[in-house]
Amino acid sequence: MIEAVKAAAAGLEKEAGVKTGLAVVIVGDDPASHTYVGVKGRMAKECGFNSIQHTLPAGTTQGELANLVASLNDDPSIHGILVQLPLPKHLNSDAIIQSIKPEKDVDGLHVVNAGKLATGDLETGLISCTPAGAMLLVRRVHGEDLSGLNAVVIGRSNLFGKPMAQLLLSANATVTTAHSRTEDLASVAKGADILVAAVGRPEMVKADWVKPGATVIDVGINRIAAPERGEGKSRLVGDVAFAEAGEVAAVITPVPGGVGPMTIAMLMANTVTAAYRANDVILLPF
């Protein structure tokens, strides 16, 4: 995917003289957010983008942030705008996200982009990066048409669960959206040919939740104590008990190193797609 993005960005610059522009906005000093933004910025530069970062103090007001987004909306050299979440608690995140022009909303969180996905329009909107990346992994295993396959998505968030279910449905899978209120969640999960876990509970999905031969996509990222590494040390795990579930599944994504890098890749793909559309150039589908 990254190689395809690099080629597309280079092609746009060569043919139209346009350098793909991505602006990332971060407010405050949350260490995890700064880590994520750093990774995104480095990848954007690697892809040949003009990558701009706006780092604002934690005390930034709603109006100041809104004014910055408005100026980026109006800047023709910026094709993608990403506001790193979470924002400090005194800021209204949703109002900011919805103020981004839908055609520059490379996170795919604007209601226009969410609505296009919900109504089956995968061609003219921008799809939320994590479900888009997870879907690419599913397609790499099962192909474009998921007819006859049962998919279970554990999690119903607007950020991931709902758009993931809609993508699977668009590919003709039979989809169940499960969640914390689902009765006998383990048996629902075990019926899945494609099992996607996005609940935010460390290693909740055990081997006996997994159908033999299933494809398991783990979207969770949880930090747990790792005393074996020393006092106060921690490690990252997913929502799936990787070692035991991996004995049963045919394909399983690791955490870290699975869906996370795909999310970054799809952010780059959305940005170069937005740049092509802004310049009325038809982009070959990724």
The single residue of 40, 104, 162, 211 carrying the catalytic annotation is: 40
Domains and CATH numbers, the chain: 2-105+261-278 (3.40.50.10860), 129-255 (3.40.50.720)
Q: For residue 232, what pLDDT is reported?
A: 86
CA atoms within 13 A on the CB side of 57: 3
Q: Is 84 a catalytic residue?
A: yes
Q: For residue 180, what pLDDT is reported?
A: 87
Q: For residue 280, what pLDDT is reported?
A: 85
| Residues 237 and 247 sit within 8 Å (Cβ to Cβ) | no
Residues of the chain with pLDDT under 70: 282-286
Q: For residue 32, what pLDDT is reported?
A: 85
Q: For residue 283, what pLDDT is reported?
A: 61
The single residue of 105, 107, 218, 239 carrying the catalytic annotation is: 107
The single residue of 19, 45, 75, 84 carrying the catalytic annotation is: 84
Q: Is 166 a catalytic residue?
A: no
Question: Tens digits of per-residue pLDDT, 137-172?
Answer: 999 999 999 999 999 999 999 999 999 999 999 999
Question: CB neighbours of 105 closer than 8 A, spacing ≥ 6?
Answer: 81, 97, 112, 113, 126
Q: Is 40 a catalytic residue?
A: yes
Question: CB neighbours of 212 closer than 8 A, spacing ≥ 6?
Answer: 248
The residue count of the chain comes to 286
Q: For residue 121, what pLDDT is reported?
A: 94
